[in-house]
Structure 1
Amino acid sequence: MSSTEIEFTPGKLSNEAIVAIVKSAGISDEIIKISKPNAWIMESRRIYFADGKVLLLKIGTNDEWTDEASILNQLHATQVLHHIGIPQPNLLAYAENKTSYGFRFLLLEAYNGTRLYDLYSTADSVNRIMIFESLAYTYSKIHRIKNSWSGVWNGSPDKKKYPIHPARFYSNAEFHGGSGRFLLEKGIISKALFDDICNAWDNNLPYLEQRESSLAHISPFPWSIYMAHDNGNYSVTGLAALGDFMWWDPMSDVAHLLYPPYMDKILKHLNLWVPGNHDPPLLSNAVVPDMPAANDARSSDNHETLPQMPFEDEYSQLSPYEDHTF
């Protein structure tokens, strides 16, 4: 089957088509199993070989979530991580457009190690501290890479996709809309609390927009970090959600690492970020002062048009701890 003959329907890509993609990447080893599809942003299929290696095929199924820039961003994020000495599965082939196959994809080595959530759940307090010392070491490498502007990459780290600053974007995407609006409409939070949350962010937009910009993962979640435990030592073996890498305040990563979703127990280890482990060293450095926003910063007339974001209902039936690969 030639690449141009492959017909694609999300969730129904044939094994024959997958074998054709693998062979077109120059890999002719015997395939013994191909996993069923699972999806979270991108559809993924694991490909098992007779010699024991495993590859991962990630397929774009929604053009709004996986466009050409998104594929290229993951390529460049992989290269940057390799360059700064952070282990990452090798990217073997990719298609940033839909010309050849009718879909965009990435073919890479499968992740080694154990996801942070699973590792942390079985570790005692001593080992949990060791885990986060390793995370601090890894993310300090990432955050040492600085940039003059904040924003989403447009297929390359030197190109900005949207003119809006991430802090202002998230004001709408996460607070006024997105998760904040979802919680309000579901009656989980009150209107007064919703307004307080939005105002706390918006009142400090000038401060947030002048923060130093660094390379940031943005999604350093317990299901997108893989680690190994060998000879009493913990080390990061790979980072998923590579399409989320961008230029922004490094404390966005630190906050997610210290307050990960569904892992409230982690709060007892707030003292892990101490001088020497991370720069900036303390989470308290990220506390936003009560700065009044400029009058036009909160005016809806001055907000730029924001790209459409996937809404929570799309994922309401999915668990991040199932075997989703990002």
Structure 2
Amino acid sequence: MFKRNNIMERILKTPNTQSVNIEKIEKMLVASGINIEHIRLEEPHAWVMQSQYIYLDDGRCLLLKIGIEDEWTDDSTILNQVHASKLIKSLGISQPDILSYSHDKNEYGFRYILSESHKGNKLYHEYQRGSIDERINIYKALGKAYDNLHRIHNDWAGIWDGHASKRKYPIHPVDFYRQAEIYGGSCKYLMDHHIINKKLYDKICLVWDKNMSYLKERPTSLIHFSPFPWSIYLQKNNDIYSVTGLSSLGDFMWWDPMIDIAHLLYPPFMEISFEEKEAFLQTYTIEVNERAINLYLLLNRVCAMAGCYLAPVDNLKAEQWIKKEISTIEQILLKL
């Protein structure tokens, strides 16, 4: 069903893209009240869902996301994203308007979400071209946005079943990721392919096991789970940055906010300065917990190193970063 592809030794798992009949797209646009006299379609690309940009004659750009694998895109996957978008907007964070969606495959043969495209630029683009002062302001904007997100609390941790009030699976994420990515999945893949040795693998597993009870007692709030440099959009107006959209909406869930903080302060395939971290913490007023951050860093590092995050970086940079992060993991383990 999936083929291996890229980062290191071609280890990213990506589904094949599917060609969508132009008549179906036009029908969908008309049903959404959009003039289809002149449209241009970009080539699709796929990860969990297939994404395709649609350019309209009036200059607008829309984003069509369709589910091409039922295993990865069921009814709740669509509804979760729609609900997450509404929640984000309700917190004062900009988000592209969703024009139409369907979790029923009968009409078009696939589940889909049609939305406006994100305004602004991805975080890593703004960061790369930003001055020292601009980067500081970028991280102040990020701190403010995620402070708002993480103030929405819940009494259970886990993924949603179409709505934030509904729990899809009874398993706690700490238990799930123990099997899915620590003992199995990414961490085991890194050991099996000699990127890390068995001694390091065993140590990661042992430390996770010893801290599971602690992690389960941590606070639970609304989290992004995938706040990557390529899934956050920002825009600058009059020297002030603001977050203009969050993607990877299907990953929003209830869990420990320190998961997001680990990603934001120590982003995969990117390194930010001490001053930028401090700028983030000026506007992120929720207490951070170093122990929790370090534990979640173990999880997100092995996932990033195994290619789970589909990072838009070239192979050479990825290989260099992966080798460097072996030392980072060893240093984290010493703290735990």
Matches within 5 A, 1:210-225: 210-225=217-232
1:225-236 to structure 2, matched below 5 A, reads 225-236=232-243
> Which string of whole-angstrom CA distances, capped at 9 and with x for unpartnered residues, describes residues 274-315 of structure 1?
3x52243445363579xxxxxxxxxxxxxxxxxxxx999897
TM-score between the two structures when normalised by the length of structure 1:
0.83
Q: Name the amino acid aligned to 1:13.
A: V
Partner of 1:147: 154
Any unmatched runs of 5+ in structure 2?
1-15, 296-302, 315-336
Gaps of 5+ in 1: 1-8, 290-309
Residues 55 and 108 in structure 1, CA contact (< 8 A), matched pair in contact too: yes
Q: Which region of structure 1 is more displaced relative to structure 2, 25-34 or 261-270?
A: 261-270
The match for 2:39 among 32, 44, 51 is: 32
Is the aligned partner of 1:59 residue 2:59?
Answer: no
Contact 1:259 1:266 in 2 (8 A): no
- Call closer, same or farther: CA 1:57–1:151 in 2, change over 3 Å: same
- Residues of 2 paired with 1:258 and 1:132: CA distance? 9
Deviation readout 1:243-298 (Å, 9 max, x if unpaired): 00000000100001111111034567433343x52243445363579xxxxxxxxx
Bigger proportion of residues as helix: 2
Partners of 2:156 and 2:214 lie apart in 1 by 15
**Residues 288 and 122 of structure 1: CA distance in aligned 2, closer, same or farther (over 3 Å):** closer
RMSD after superposition: 2.4
Q: Which residue of the other structure, out of 260, 264, 283, is the alignment partner of 1:277?
A: 283
Give the letter for the 1:284 counterpart: E
> In structure 2, what is the equivalent of residue 240 of structure 1?
247
Structure 1 CA distance for aligned equivalents of residues 142 and 33 of structure 2: 35
1:121 aligns with 2:113: no
Q: How many residues align?
A: 292
Identify the match of residue 45 of structure 1 among 52, 59, 63: 52
1:97 aligns with 2:104: yes
Q: Following TM superposition, by how much is the alpha carbon of 1:32 offset from its aligned partner in structure 2, in angstroms? A: 3.0
Which residue of structure 1 lines up, in the alignment, with residue 300 of structure 2?
none
| Residue 89 of structure 2, aligned match among 74, 82, 86 | 82
**Cα distance in 2 between the residues matched to 1:133 and 1:199:** 36
* Distance of aligned partners of 1:311 and 1:268 in 2 relative to their CA distance in 1, 3 Å threshold: closer
The structural deviation recorded for 1:127 is 1.5
Kept after mapping to 2: 8 A contact 1:204/1:288? no
Distance (whole Å) between structure 2 residues aligned to residue 315 and residue 250 of structure 1: 20
Distance in 1 (CA, whole Å) between partners of 2:102 and 2:255 is 27
The answer to whether the 8 Å contact 2:137/2:240 transfers is yes
Write the deviation string for residues 147-191 of structure 1: whole angstroms up to 9, x where unpaired. Answer: 011110011101111101111111111211111111111101111
